[in-house]
Amino acid sequence: MKWFLFYPELYTFAGGMVFLSLSLLKQANPRRDYFAAMILAALGVLVCLISVNQEGSLFFKTYQVDLFSQVFKVMLSLGLFLIICICSELKAIAERHHPEFYLLLFVSTLAMMMLVSGAHILTIYMALELSSYSLYVLVALRKGERVGLEAGLKYFLVGILVSAVMIFGVALLYSATQVTYMTDMMRVLPGALDSPMVVIGLLLTLCGFFFKLAVFPFHFWAPDVYQGAANQATAYIATASKVAAIAILIRMIAVTGDGSTYLAHVLVILSIVSMTVGNLAAIVQKDLKRLLAFSTVAHAGYVLIGILGMSTLGYSSVIFYAMALLVMKFTAFLVVVKVADDGSNLQMSQLAGLHRRSPLLAMALMVSVFSLAGIPPTIGFTGKFLVFAAAMEKGYFTLVLIAMINVVISLYYYLLILKAAYLEEPAEELPPLSLSPQIKILAGLLVCVMVAAGIFPRYLLDLASAAAAVLN
Amino acid sequence: MEYANFPYLTTILLSCIVGLLVILCIPEERKTQIKWVSAVFSGITLILSVYLFMAYDKAQGGLQFVEKLPWVESLGITYFNAADGFNLPMLLLTGIVFFTGVLTMWELENRVKEFYAFYYLMVLAVFGIFMSMDLFFIFIWYDVSLFPMYLLIAIWGTTRKEYGAMKLTLYLLAGSALVLPAIIYLFVGSGLNTFDITILMKPGTFTPDQQKFAFILFYIGFGILAGVWPFHTWSPVGHVAAPHGVSMVHAGVLMKIGGFAILRVGIFLCPEGWQHWAQLMAVLAAIGIVYGAFVGLSQKDLKYVIGYSSVSHMGIVGLGLSTVSVDGLNGAVFQMFAHGVMTALFFSAVGYIYDRTHTKVIAELGGLSRIMPVASTYFIVAAMASMGIPCLASFWGELMVFIAAFKIYPVRGALAVCALVVSALFMLRVVQRTFYGPKNEKFAHLTDVTFGLGIPRMILLATLLLFGLFPALMFDMIATASIPFFNGLP
């Protein structure tokens, strides 16, 4: 066995075990847990970075380690680290549950790392379930409020339903083609896509990933779960979990080769409906987390635009988009977590006066919102541009036009957020927000990254292209 | 092409960026210091743009002061700035309006730092659009120039500011929603993997059908920004809501981006599409001219009057472009420049009056010429320019466009000239009611504009006069670009 290929996963697993043992201690000590998690996660990023160039396969070739998976592992570990950075005041989780909270974060990240490396349909399914179950519990951990439990239950019920559908799809796929390895699928599937059973099997299998990515019609859980979970847990679901979902979706679609027109048409429709439903529903939201949930649905639609071209260019654009989503969504949630410092849900009206309470956070919010809306020169614009260019290459002009109209619709509610932060004055004078130096540096860095990667996308772009190149 | 010895164009952008950063570093309380810094850096851009205008070698023509740097090679994006006879007038205009806009806002007291920061960001992008020869960068600058506008209007604006800001931003972004697919369409369609306009504009790059399709998207997309009827409705609302300095940049420069981008992107890349759609352009432009004039006639708010006269005047630009002739192009570009300076003077003058009287309603004013004669003069000169009085710059632009239009579209040309009479009528009415007639005693105690505060208006007035008396300065410049371009058409 070449264990060094498995270092990132092993490390994350060990990190989880640390918190398992911490959770056994009688004395609750949130500061200790926080710092332990922070250091472990920071080292985790390093471990992933070191092993970024590894290649090979493990466990009887059910586990594929290549540049594609390693790039996503870096993103996932970075996502975990960023989330832990904003956990310094974890007021929405009972203190004695803090170790469990971190444990679940680590386990879920571990599962997602395995997901992006999965080369066998059962590995993928197992990893998907492991990450989902950790998230169900994570959502339900919210302290004192029934809403957390309710959200967890809703998430769970929809999740197991979808996973039943998915496993049915896997069974269909197997009965039609008798393959379970991705490498075999890559060989067999492109020729078998005319058969209805294969297409239906594939689509049902994809449902599992659509659920993760919150693509219409599997998005119903998103607003309630986003609202019900603790802010940090929501941030994790909105960033790391989406990145993993994008990765596995790309891998799954890539095995179909050039794809079938039928599959592409289904994806086109899902993409259009996701964008439109997400953006229209977001307009009327008053709760910022609900709004971001619907914007996630819309972003899932944009992601599909890149994937459905089924070209290497499209995959690389989506990988870039995943990086963009990670940074810009996280920045938005950083502001949510810091403004709602008592751990409650953040209403739009509570943003009032933010430009005076904390100019830095207001600026971070502005840049992230413009990035989400796809306004240059931010990373979000570059991502959208690449995705649209890839779709246009395949001749989807109308789709791109519809997507652009959606961008304009989405701009309306993004501007409402800005308006709340920059224009409205709070009913009663609120004190300035006190931020720790680390958070200030983090917020400043995120702003710089979003703008710099928008202006100089070259290196990230090359990385994304290289990662996409190994798929074929 | 002649590469630049010294990157003047980039220096203009850099002085905006450095100015922006310096402003961000000054504490909010030091308002005067912020204003001085803003004035100095905008002054640098003005000096540079004047220098470029004078240093351009007209005998040689073509692209000069070229700066080229590969940006993203895998996508064929180049940082490519250059100056020619089309964009130099626009750069000069931006320099003038930027500097005078900063001075016009001298009396601002509320959130000064943020105001100038956003203002700089917006103007940076405007400069970027005018000097860039790369399609990708043009689009980036285009979008960047739009979004500071929302906050500038919504925070510092006046009448129905939030509504105006939202409407403006969504309209203009809707325009970019048409432009981006068109850009990608051409990029993918050319198969050359480049956004370089000088390469893409070579004849034969695009089939006539591609050109027709892309041109109409560009025309509508950029046309929204240029205030083309029927997509103009954001413009009067936005102008009225915006603070004066922003109205100046907005009506003076930002609307010109629309016209300029139709020329630089639409007409350069899709000349056959241009010829195909010219009839439609002429119809829309003529309707815009007539409609703007008549709606302006019934306005009660000074800024609305200017807003609708802008729609009418931008219609003249559109009419010039639609003639598909050298004269039309010359006239359109000249008109863009002249109208930019004229509107800036208008808004600057109204700004002074509004800051004192706190009203823009024509009926509430009256007899102002006796209370503040100098301030009134600025407005009246701008109104005269708007009517197309000879000796002021706008006369030449309009004349040129109408000569060209009469040759090709006699009916629409005649209609447009008739509309000019109407617009003269409403301007005279406004001038008469606002500045003459019985004096409103309520405002009798107000002081006239001081020398210091008058500087921006004087600069604008001097520019109008200079190019009104010596139009050849401008026409020779534009002709260095328009004649070769027209001769190069298939």
Give the nearest partner residue to A389 out of B155, B178, B184, using CB atoms: B184
The residue of chain A with its CA nearest to that of B187 is A389
Q: What is the pLDDT of residues B370-404, one digit of tens each?
A: 778 888 888 888 888 888 888 888 888 888 888 88
Residues of chain B found within 8 Å of residue A456, distances taken between Cβ atoms: 71
Report the pLDDT value the prediction gives residue A429, as an integer from 0 to 100: 78
Out of A377, A389, A465, the one facing B188 most closely (by C-beta) is A389
Mutual angle of helices A397-422 and B135-156, in 10-degree steps: 30
Helix, strand, or coil (residue B448): coil
Domain that includes residue B147, residue range = 8-487
Residue spans per domain, chain A: 3-469
Predicted confidence (pLDDT) per residue in A56-82, tens digit: 787 888 888 888 888 899 999 999 999
Q: Do B84 and B331 touch, CB atoms closer than 8 A?
A: no
Look at residue A321 in the predicted model and tell me its pLDDT. Answer: 92
Which residues in chain B are closer than 8 Å to A414, comparing Cβ atoms? none
> For residue B336, is it within any domain?
yes
Count: domains in chain B = 1
* ipTM value: 0.83
Single out the residue of A164, A303, A138 nearest to residue A225, CA to CA. Answer: A138
- B352-367 confidence digits (pLDDT tens): 888 887 877 777 777 7
Residue B174 and residue A461: Cβ atoms within 8 Å? no
How close is the nearest chain B Cα to the Cα of A430, in Å? 18
**Measured in whole angstroms, how far is the alpha carbon of residue A324 from the centre of its chain?**
10
For residue B2, tell me if it sits in a domain: no
The pLDDT of residue A1: 57
Which span out of A289-293, B104-108, B291-295, B451-455 was modeled with the highest average pLDDT?
A289-293
When mean pLDDT is compared over A428-442, B23-37, B115-129, B437-451, the highest value belongs to: B115-129
Cβ contact, residue pair A408, B187, below 8 Å: no
Contacts of B184 in chain A (CB under 8 A): 385, 388-389, 392, 400
Instruction: Quote the pLDDT of residue B1.
Output: 58
Mean pLDDT is lowest, of A339-343, B181-185, B439-443, for B439-443
∠ at Cα A407 (A406, A408), nearest 5°? 90
**Contact criterion met (CB < 8 Å) for B180 and A355:** no
pLDDT of residue A326: 92
Is B472 touching A (CB cutoff 8 A)? no
pLDDT in tens, A99-143: 888 989 999 999 998 898 888 888 889 899 999 999 998 888 887
Pairing state of beta strands A63-65 and B77-83? Answer: unpaired
Query: Above 80 in pLDDT, residue B443?
Result: no
Cβ contact (<8 Å) for A458 and B114?
no
Q: Quick check: B72 contacting A, CB < 8 Å?
A: yes
Cβ separation B147–A370 shorter than 8 A: yes
Residue A325's pLDDT is what? 92
Please check whether residue A410 is in contact with residue A404, taking contact to mean a CB–CB distance below 8 angstroms: no
Least confident piece of the model among A268-272, A282-286, B202-206, B438-442? B438-442
Round the average pLDDT of chain A to a whole number and report it. Answer: 87
Smallest Cβ distance to A408: which of B74, B151, B174?
B174
Residue B258 belongs to a domain: yes
